[in-house]
Homo-oligomer: A and B are copies of this chain.
Amino acid sequence: MVKIGIVGAAGYTGYELVSMFARHAAAEIVFATSSSNAGQRMSDIYACPFDTPLIDPANASLDSADVVFLCTPHGASATWAKQVLGAGARCIDLSADLRIRDLRVYEKWYQTHTAPELLPRAVYGLTEIYRDAVAGADLVANPGCYPTGPILGLAPLLRAGIVRGDRIIIDAASGVSGAGATPSATVHFVSVHDNYSAYKPGHTHRHVPEIEQELSAAAGTPWRIVFTPHLLPVSRGILSTIYVDLDPAWDLAHILRALEEAYAGETFVHVLPAGKLASLAHVVNTNRCAISVVSAGAPGEWIIVTALDNLVKGAAGQALQNMNVMFGLEETMGLIA
């Protein structure tokens, strides 16, 4: 049994991990921490039968775990990662601290980095793209919820060198769990229900540099995006509607074939056949990412629609998928495909 520690377990991704490990045959939680809910059990915070005790982070025996999941905010995570690695455990960080390879970019979009020496050691955990590196990693930077879909949908086309134009427009919509469990006016039921609104539009959301980093890595040249997230009146799910120009010589069959080949044998990436569009219904409560392609109406103009569950493939599910890879387990254990 792989021994699991979870730091910051009282948030949505921590709860999702606890739910998944309740169904995982080869792992067991040895500790779960919460600074604000220490002394309670998971079932005191969420309507669930999980009696997992939440302990004070100061009391966590990091060395009792084989791997520690960090569900802590950026800024705090890098410091925790250093301690976890120092205690001899492997580490999967769900924050942004170790996702951005260029320290200057991180510090421009976030803040002063608390452990920049870890950056070269961290593997970006988009499993389908970096599986080999994840397998050998002791430190994984789990991708952001918004980046995962567009990167999976665009990387094969960027690698093929067929993307044209000077920018890619990503119009995305997320369920409210993406904003976290902390109460605020923004996530009050009455604010969100019956509403739909854009926020941090254009080039201002912190997932922009992460997406640009990975699209550029796939292309081998820098790529710029325009990115407009919207808040949906649903709890879970992200749909990204991506406007992209491609080499006009490529038709729909050609484009779909490139995606299918890129994800042949993948359990969790579903390239939909021509005529179908990805929707939240394809993915919610599963670790799937659905990818679909349709003409935008003129030669070379395309719309790529991707969908995933922000808490699963966009966070805890992908983290567990990475753990399964790191420990040589079946990649689907504990996950719904």
Contacts and interface: CB of A to CB of B under 8 A. Distances in A.
Contacts of A195: 47, 234, 237, 279-281
Interface string A29-42: 00000000000000
Of A22, A183, A190, A226, the most chain B CB neighbours within 10 A belong to A190
A234 B235 CA distance: 12
A295 B285 CA distance: 35
Given A196-B232, A279-B197, A298 B167 contact: yes
Contacts of A22: 337
Contact of A296 (B202, B277, B294): B202
A48 interface: yes
A239 B279 contact: no
A18 interface: no
A185 interface: yes
A11 to B, nearest CB: 11
B303 A202 contact: yes
A47 B46 CA distance: 28
A282 interface: yes
A295 B295 CA distance: 27
A42 B279 CA distance: 16
Contact of A185 (B167, B183, B193): B183
Given A49-B288, A181-B190, A202-B295, A277 B197 contact: yes
Contacts of A280: 194-197
Contacts of A259: none
A311 to B, nearest CB: 10
A331 to B, nearest CB: 15
A273 to B, nearest CB: 9
Contacts of A197: 239, 277-281
B232 A232 contact: yes
B203 A298 contact: yes
A253 B183 CA distance: 34
A187 interface: yes
Contacts of A47: 195, 279, 281-282
A230 B279 CA distance: 10
A260 interface: no
Interface stretch (A103-111, A113-121, A129-137, A168-176): A168-176
Contacts of A282: 47-49
A188 interface: yes
B187 A188 contact: yes
B184 A183 contact: yes
Interface string A204-234: 1000000000000000000010101010111
Contact of A190 (B171, B176, B226, B294): B176
A336 B177 contact: no
Given A189-B235, A193-B189, A228-B241, A203 B173 contact: no
16 contacts: A49-B288, A169-B243, A173-B196, A176-B188, A183-B184, A183-B188, A189-B191, A194-B234, A194-B235, A194-B237, A195-B279, A196-B280, A201-B294, A202-B297, A203-B296, A226-B297
**A-B pairs with lowest CB-CB distance, top 5:** A203-B297, A197-B279, A47-B281, A183-B183, A202-B297
